[in-house]
A and B are shown apart, each in its own frame.
Chain A
Amino acid sequence: MSLRRRSLLGAGTGLGLAALAGCGAGSGGAPDLARAAEVPRGEATVRWWSFPMATNDGDDLRRLLIEAFRSRHPNITVTTVDAPAVTDISRSVLSTAVASGAASPDLYMGDVAWPAQFAHNALALPLDEVVGEDYWRAYPESLVHALGYRDDTYAFPFFADQAYLFYRRDLLDRHGLDVPASWEELTVAARTVQRAGDAEYGLVFQGAVYEGLTANVAEFVADAGGEILNAEGTRVTLGGRSGERALTFLRDLVADGVTPRAVGTFREQDSTDAFVGGRAVFLRNWAYVWGVVEAPDSPVAGRVGVVPRPGFEGAAGSGNGCLGGWCNFVNPHSENPGAAVAFARFCAEEEAQVIMVRNTAYLPALSAVRAGAEARRSPTPVTALADEVRLVPRPTRSPHYPQVSKALYTEVNTVLSGGASPTEALERARAGIADALEGNAL
Chain B
Amino acid sequence: MRRYLNPVTVGGLVLVVLTAAPLYWMAVTSFKSPVEAGASPPTLFPEDPTLDNYRHALDAADMDRYLFNSVAVCVSSTVIVLGLALFAGYALARLPMRGRGPVMVGLLMISVFPVIAVVTPLYLVERELGLLNSHGGLIIPYVAFHLPFAIWMLRNSMLDLPRELEEAATIDGASVVRTLRSVILPQAGPALFTAGVFTFAATWTEFLMALTLNSENDFRTIPVGIAIYGDRYQVPYGVIFAAAMAATVPVALLVLVFRRAVLSGLTDGAVKG
On whether A and B touch (CB less than 8 Å), the answer reads yes
**Chain A residues within CB distance 8 Å of chain B:** 1-2, 5, 16, 19, 24-25, 51-52, 81-87, 89, 92-93, 96-97, 99-102, 267-269, 272-273, 276-277, 279, 286, 288, 292, 297-299
Which residues of B have CB within 8 Å of A5?
A: 102, 106
Contact of B99 among A2, A92, A93, A272 (CB under 8 A): A2
| A101 to chain B: closest residue by CB | B127
| B233 to chain A: closest residue by CB | A268
Task: Answer whether residue B227 sits at the interface, using C-beta atoms and an 8 A cutoff.
Answer: yes
Q: Is the CB of A24 within 8 A of B124?
A: yes
Q: Is the CB of B215 within 8 A of A87?
A: no
Q: Is the CB of B234 within 8 A of A297?
A: no
Q: Is the CB of A81 within 8 A of B38?
A: no
Which of B77-85, B115-123, B144-152 contacts its partner?
Answer: B115-123
**Chain B residues within CB distance 8 Å of chain A:** 33-35, 38-40, 60-61, 98-99, 102-103, 106, 119-121, 123-124, 127-128, 211-212, 215-217, 224, 227-235
Bound-complex Cα distance A87 to B231 (A):
9
| B35 to chain A: closest residue by CB | A297
Which residues of A have CB within 8 Å of B123?
A: 96-97, 100
Q: Is the CB of A276 within 8 A of B35?
A: yes
Which residues of A have CB within 8 Å of B119?
A: 96
Bound-complex Cα distance A286 to B231 (A):
13
| A161 to chain B: closest residue by CB | B232
| B36 to chain A: closest residue by CB | A297
**What are 24 pairs between A and B in contact, CB < 8 Å?**
A1-B99, A1-B102, A2-B99, A82-B217, A82-B228, A84-B211, A84-B227, A85-B229, A85-B232, A89-B211, A89-B227, A92-B212, A96-B120, A96-B212, A99-B120, A100-B120, A100-B124, A273-B38, A276-B35, A276-B38, A277-B38, A277-B39, A288-B231, A292-B234
Which residues of B have CB within 8 Å of A93?
A: 211-212, 215
Which residues of A have CB within 8 Å of B40?
A: 277, 279
How near does chain B come to A322, taking the closest CB pair, in angstroms?
Answer: 13
Which residues of B have CB within 8 Å of A99?
A: 120
Which residues of A have CB within 8 Å of B215?
A: 81, 93, 97
Q: Which of A52, A83, A87, A89: most chain B CB closer than 10 A?
A: A89
Which residues of A have CB within 8 Å of B103?
A: 1
How near does chain A come to B38, taking the closest CB pair, in angstroms?
Answer: 4
Bound-complex Cα distance A1 to B228 (A):
46
In the complex with contacts A96-B123, A100-B120, A85-B230 CB distance below 8 A: yes
Which residues of B have CB within 8 Å of A83?
A: 228
Bound-complex Cα distance A83 to B34 (A):
23
In the complex with contacts A100-B127, A297-B33, A288-B233 CB distance below 8 A: yes
Q: Is the CB of A269 within 8 A of B212?
A: no
How near does chain A come to B155, taking the closest CB pair, in angstroms?
Answer: 16
Bound-complex Cα distance A38 to B227 (A):
36
| A99 to chain B: closest residue by CB | B120
How near does chain B come to A111, taking the closest CB pair, in angstroms?
Answer: 8
Which residues of B have CB within 8 Å of A276?
A: 35, 38
Q: Is the CB of B102 within 8 A of A81?
A: no
**Which 7 residue pairs of A and B lie closest in terms of their CB atoms, listed nearest first?**
A268-B233, A1-B99, A273-B38, A85-B230, A84-B227, A269-B234, A297-B35
Bound-complex Cα distance A186 to B39 (A):
26
How near does chain A come to B58, taking the closest CB pair, in angstroms?
Answer: 15
Which residues of B have CB within 8 Å of A277?
A: 35, 38-40
Bound-complex Cα distance A179 to B6 (A):
65
Contact of B34 among A24, A96, A100, A297 (CB under 8 A): A297
Which residues of A have CB within 8 Å of B229?
A: 85
Q: Is the CB of B35 within 8 A of A87?
A: no
Bound-complex Cα distance A24 to B122 (A):
12
How near does chain A come to B121, taking the closest CB pair, in angstroms?
Answer: 7
Bound-complex Cα distance A362 to B93 (A):
63
Q: Is the CB of B233 within 8 A of A269?
A: yes
| A288 to chain B: closest residue by CB | B233
Q: Is the CB of A81 within 8 A of B217?
A: yes
| B237 to chain A: closest residue by CB | A269
Bound-complex Cα distance A250 to B190 (A):
58
How near does chain A come to B209, taking the closest CB pair, in angstroms?
Answer: 11
How near does chain B come to A264, taking the closest CB pair, in angstroms?
Answer: 18
Which residues of B have CB within 8 Å of A279?
A: 40
Bound-complex Cα distance A184 to B266 (A):
67
Bound-complex Cα distance A272 to B235 (A):
12
Bound-complex Cα distance A16 to B235 (A):
40
Q: Is the CB of A81 within 8 A of B216?
A: yes
Contact of B233 among A84, A96, A97, A286 (CB under 8 A): A286
Bound-complex Cα distance A286 to B233 (A):
9
How near does chain B come to A94, taking the closest CB pair, in angstroms?
Answer: 9
Bound-complex Cα distance A51 to B230 (A):
10
Q: Is the CB of B211 within 8 A of A298?
A: no
Bound-complex Cα distance A299 to B33 (A):
12
Which residues of A have CB within 8 Å of B216?
A: 81
Which residues of A have CB within 8 Å of B235?
A: 269
Q: Which of A81, A84, A89, A298: most chain B CB closer than 10 A?
A: A84
Q: Is the CB of B98 within 8 A of A1?
A: yes
How near does chain A come to B59, taking the closest CB pair, in angstroms?
Answer: 10
Bound-complex Cα distance A83 to B217 (A):
9
Which residues of A have CB within 8 Å of B61?
A: 82
How near does chain A come to B187, taking the closest CB pair, in angstroms?
Answer: 28
Contact of B121 among A19, A87, A292 (CB under 8 A): A19
Bound-complex Cα distance A267 to B230 (A):
14
Bound-complex Cα distance A22 to B217 (A):
30
How near does chain B come to A340, taking the closest CB pair, in angstroms?
Answer: 17
Q: Is the CB of B102 within 8 A of A2?
A: yes
Bound-complex Cα distance A419 to B35 (A):
33
Contact of B227 among A19, A25, A81, A86 (CB under 8 A): A86
Bound-complex Cα distance A52 to B215 (A):
16
Which residues of A have CB within 8 Å of B121?
A: 16, 19
Bound-complex Cα distance A302 to B128 (A):
57
How near does chain A come to B96, taking the closest CB pair, in angstroms?
Answer: 14
Bound-complex Cα distance A82 to B39 (A):
31
How near does chain B come to A158, taking the closest CB pair, in angstroms?
Answer: 13
Which residues of B have CB within 8 Å of A89?
A: 211, 227
How near does chain B come to A294, taking the closest CB pair, in angstroms?
Answer: 13
Bound-complex Cα distance A1 to B102 (A):
9
Q: Is the CB of A84 within 8 A of B224?
A: yes
